[in-house]
Structure 1
């Protein structure tokens, strides 16, 4: 049996942060992953996706300016784009391994399962740890319907060698909406089935309405309140059987993508052998991200049932907190007060803080400033028809929440997050002198 001060299960951004920080503080540290090192974001999520989004942005920009000074056709060569994306992604595991080697982290490759409260098995190796961290991330939810094994998942989509003529997405979250916008601009006909009344249900309803309109304007066939109840193979196609309040329909498509959500990846870890309590949201942890039932275990990122959003920056922040608590004892609580998030559709949707509905439910006295900004200069100069905002502030003028859809919303939302953290008031933001013309210069007019 090999003994370590710290064993980290999972080499995504949370696990990577914890392993490197602990090793650099002199703790004997080991890490393992059942997949190549790097995690979901770097290898099969945010980073490769944003490369595809970058190509879609060029198409969108060219189409919007066609006849307004831009002429000539432009299109996505999917095979070349995949080659470019794969070249970027393929370098990550070796780079991560070099970092571990430099930090003195012992590396294992394989799935880990618990043998006792402080031991895990990785293949033929049995490891004992003073502290064990679960940072395994999340996996696509399994579709419990006839033919539920037939769709591909988000990882498969990011590795498609060819883009089919027609793609159907099941779900109405980040993955379905973002990938649908990419595929549509790459030349595929796209259909989305979502069983809820609106997609992106955790975002502000009014801002999402703008995205729904923009999605349908792109000729994406978006079906809401429609549940997929079965999938069948039909020669080189698939039949997707759906149920809505008024009817049951069957649709044909070339490819089905399961984008119905993700769940913590805790399968086959034998958590019960280690007295580790969990639920559908992940490992049950206390305010220090320590297991409620086994003090030798911590969890971070998508594998933890914490108060954080399932976002890469939040996983990194939780990783720093866990590392600090292992090194110095429980003293650092993760700070979830400002968690900006973005949906990389085109237009981009971004948010930080409370929605209007949450503000009403909080009982706080508040005011809302909301409008379309499609007639503002920054929309007109690039011929963007979708640009809107909603800013919620309290009676003292502090920002409670901001919601934006439009060009560079993902950058603008960071400025609002900083304003919330710095406790700037509406008057402070309004009276700032901004560089102009810039997207940031619109912020003063939004508050």
Structure 2
């Protein structure tokens, strides 16, 4: 049978675009559909605008710290609307770049929601196209829990367009998104309260890392209410009222409340999966194998809509592995071991490999050696601040292999990216010890811990 395309991609986020371009490089005829702006969550509502706001939030501290180095006090104020406009203008610029990249790759772009008609046919509005292979890369969206008055709460997407600048904000959830936005808004001058359901933020991360970040956030002025349940949200003339239950019931009044970290769900509703044999789990996540194949031989899925790891670089690598295998004759699968990740809170954190708890569970406590270093970086000595950096290595004593590396402190993401190469390659603690440190730097602590 002759098809319109060799590959059709549903969703033009980071994973979908990377897959489309890689397949086109191999000579495949490729089409892609997107109902929103090109770039997906990462570019339009996530990584990129969020990191730009992280940068914006750092300047008040820099202005203050500069006085310890002899600079005169800086009198400056934030123009919130200008900052928001600049951030969104950069997103628009990136959308245009993605369009040009797809055009240069000769990938045909369809604007609109794509829906399966059958295993090989997709409709976008009034247009129907056929394809030999179809990749689903529709990403995810924030969850709105069943709480009375939840319609009065913002989702994380809304935080990039809020106007005017909020002065009192309540963030619900203790995941990395909520924790990052708590620090951003706090740095930009808002009074921030973060409400979490457990005793600490960032469940699933290393315990020392969780503690260090949470204590740092509290030290910077963020109020964290833990072990709390949201009972009701009510709109008032002066903002929103949030009724909480901890060991007692209490009310918090804020300008805005955001569901910044209560999880995400896949965008798999209303894409016609019922017209295929594609299988999903109870949350709607598409079930795929190690080659990103669904239950249908010709339909694949990658990124946040699957039952794999939800990270932008993972989606990109999954998609490229699929394209290499199917269209490039270079069979390979995505490796999910030792994937580094960062949390752009204040203090910043990054991690790769096993947590201490995971290492003990896998190898037993007798085999695990933990190395820690906690210190005040040189930068803060003249600034007169008690900011701390934490570094931690998890080592298997039997093989001497470094199983995990964790850091809280300035430039943690930049430092762990390099350390991740060593961990991925199976480096031993002896390899770290044999490496000469760059002095004076915080990073040298990773090769001097004893």
TM-score norm. by structure 1 comes to: 0.94
Question: Residue 112 and residue 407 in structure 1: after superposition, are their counterparts in 2 closer, same or farther (change >3 A)?
Answer: same
Q: Which residue of 1 aligns with 2:62?
A: 61
Match of 1:173 in 2: 175
Displacement, 1:72?
Answer: 2.7
Distance in 1 (alpha carbons) for counterparts of 2:229 and 2:70 = 44
SS in 2 for 1:278: coil
- 1:238 corresponds to 2:240: yes
Tell which deviates more after alignment, 411-420 or 67-76: 67-76
Alignment-derived partner of residue 326 in structure 2: 326
Cα distance 1:36–1:110, how it changes in 2: closer, same or farther (>3 A)? same
- What residue in structure 1 maps to residue 412 of structure 2? 409
Task: Indicate the residue corresponding to 2:432 in structure 1.
Answer: 429
CA distance in 2, matches of 1:446, 1:117: 56
Q: Per the alignment, do residues 440 and 89 of structure 1 end up closer, same or farther by CA in structure 2, a change over 3 Å counting? A: same
Aligned-partner SS, 1:335 = coil
The 1-side partners of 2:441 and 2:329 are apart by: 46
Paired residue for 1:50? 51
Instruction: Return the alpha-carbon distance in structure 1 between the equivalents of residues 141 and 449 of structure 2.
Output: 38
- Mapped partners of 2:434, 2:74: distance in 1: 43
Cα distance per residue 1:324-370 (max 9 Å; x no partner):
22215693110122211111011101111100110111025221012
1:359 match: 359
Deviation at 1:65, TM superposition (A): 4.5
Are the equivalent residues in 2 in contact too, given 1:288–1:330 (CA < 8 A)?
Answer: no
- Residues 244-283 of structure 1 correspond to what in structure 2 (within 5 A)? 244=246, 246-259=247-260, 260-279=262-281, 280=283, 282-283=285-286
CA contact (8 A) 1:398 1:426 kept: yes
Shift of 1:148: 1.3
- Correspondence for 1:3: 4
Output the CA distance in 2 between the equivalents of 1:151 and 1:63.
Answer: 34
Is 2:391–2:446's contact at 8 Å kept on the other side of the alignment? no
Equivalent residue, structure 2, for 1:316: 316
Task: Classify the secondary structure of the residue corresponding to 1:360.
Answer: helix
Structure 1, unaligned runs of 5 or more: none
- Paired residues for 1:47-446 under 5 Å: 47-67=48-68, 69-70=70-71, 71-244=73-246, 246-259=247-260, 260-279=262-281, 280=283, 282-291=285-294, 293-306=295-308, 308=309, 310-328=310-328, 331-364=331-364, 365-374=367-376, 376-377=377-378, 380=381, 383=385, 385-395=387-397, 396-446=399-449
8 Å CA contact 2:3–2:132 kept in 1: the answer is no
Partner SS for 1:89: helix
CA distance in 1, matches of 2:77, 2:229: 33
Q: Residue 59 of structure 1: CA displacement?
A: 1.9
Distance across 2 between alignment mates of 1:316 and 1:63: 39
Tell me if structure 1 keeps the 8 A contact 2:63–2:74: no
| Cα deviation, residue 232, structure 1 | 0.9
Q: Give the TM-score taking structure 2 as reference length.
A: 0.94
State the match for 1:23 in structure 2. Answer: 24
Q: Which runs of 5+ in 2 are unaligned?
A: none
1:120 and 1:390 map into 2 onto residues whose CA distance is 49
Contact 1:143 1:149 in 2 (8 A): no
Q: Would the aligned equivalents of 1:75 and 1:186 in 2 still touch at CA under 8 Å? A: no
- Alpha-carbon distance in structure 1 between the residues aligned to 2:115 and 2:232: 34
Given that 2:69 and 2:382 are in contact with CA atoms closer than 8 Å, whether structure 1 keeps it comes out as no
> How many correspondences in the alignment?
442
- 1:215-254: per-residue Cα shift (whole Å, max 9, x none)? 111221111111212211111311111122x112221111
Check whether the contact 1:412–1:439 (CA below 8 A) recurs between aligned residues: no
* Mean CA deviation greater in 418-427 or 187-196: 418-427
Q: Is the 8 A contact 2:321 2:334 kept in 1?
A: yes
Distance in 1 between residues matched to 2:270 and 2:330, nearest whole Å: 29
CA distance 1:384–1:104, change in 2 (3 Å): farther
Alpha-carbon distance between aligned partners in 1 of 2:320 and 2:232, rounded to the nearest angstrom: 43
Contact 2:192/2:222 (<8 A) preserved: yes
- Kept in 2: contact 1:373–1:379 (CA 8 A): no
SS in 2 for 1:369: strand
Secondary structure, counterpart of 1:108 in structure 2: strand
Q: CA RMSD in A?
A: 1.9
Cα distance in 1, alignment partners of residues 300 and 174 from structure 2? 32
Q: Is the 8 A contact 1:378 1:438 kept in 2?
A: no
Provide the rounded CA distance (Å) in 1 between the counterparts of 2:131 and 2:290: 22
Query: Contact (CA 8 Å) 1:379, 1:387: kept in 2 or not?
Result: no
